[in-house]
Amino acid sequence: SANIPLVVNTWNFINATQKAWEILNISENDNALDALTLGCKVCQDEQCDNTVGYGGSPDENGETTLDALIFDGDTMDMGAVGGLRSVKNAIAVARYVLEHSEHSFLVGNLASAFAEKFGFPNESLQTNFSLNLWEEWKANNCQPNFWKNVFPDPKNHCGPYTESNILADNTLTNTVPTKFNSRNHD
């Protein structure tokens, strides 16, 4: 016996699950893509754990960029965006890539330009929360950061960095304590 229809998602983002479930059951038509798109949008709007949507995970410049993917298991077609700037609804833009292009993956400013052609507003993804995170990071000598084999020592100093002639032992890389956790993840 099959346990379908079904919605399951990572983490305790239950409002997104519920929205997808409601959409999935709103009609007898197959609307799995709508369910996924609108379910994930809930998390974007709610800024789930500050790991989804605008106003979280600032980069070294204090900017939030967004990544999203939709993969259709019937057609093996997909749409994705990476490093999307200044557009909030990343999952919907990925849906547009899926449904309105023969490509799979658009990135950066040109993904934003694609989105704007379909009416997505261009707006800042920075919030007071993300700005404060960024300010705290700068005040903490830019720790943690993801540079290696550069000068000055990225474990103690902010950039700009230049190439270091002293290469770290890359065999140790695999056991370095992770910088990722339940509040900082892909």
Partner 1 sequence: TIGMIVISQSGHIVAGTSTNGATYKIPGRVGDSPIPGAGAYADSNYGAAAATGDGDIMMRFLPSFLAVEQLRLGASPEKAAKISLSRIIDKYPTFFGGIIVADKKGNIGAYCNGMEQFPFSVASADYPNSVIKYVNC
Site for partner 1 in 163-182 (CB under 8 A): 174-182
By CB under 8 A, what part of segment 108-167 binds partner 1? 108, 125, 133, 137, 142, 144-147
Structure tokens at 78: 């997909």
Q: What is the DSSP letter of 25?
A: T
**CB-nearer residue toward partner 1: 81 or 115:** 81
Least CB distance to partner 1 at residue 131 (A): 13
By CB under 8 A, what part of segment 57-96 binds partner 1? 57-61, 63-74, 76, 78, 80-83, 90-91, 94
Residue in 142, 152, 148 with CA at minimum distance from that of residue 60: 142
Contact residue for partner 1 among 9, 126, 127, 164 (CB under 8 A) = 9
**CB-nearer residue toward partner 1: 33 or 157:** 33
Distance CA 44, CA 54 (A): 7
Residue 157, classified by CB atoms within 10 Å of its CB into exposed (0-12), middle (13-18) or buried (19+), is middle
Q: Do 5 and 28 touch, CB atoms closer than 8 A?
A: no
The residue count for binding partner 1 (CB under 8 A) is: 90
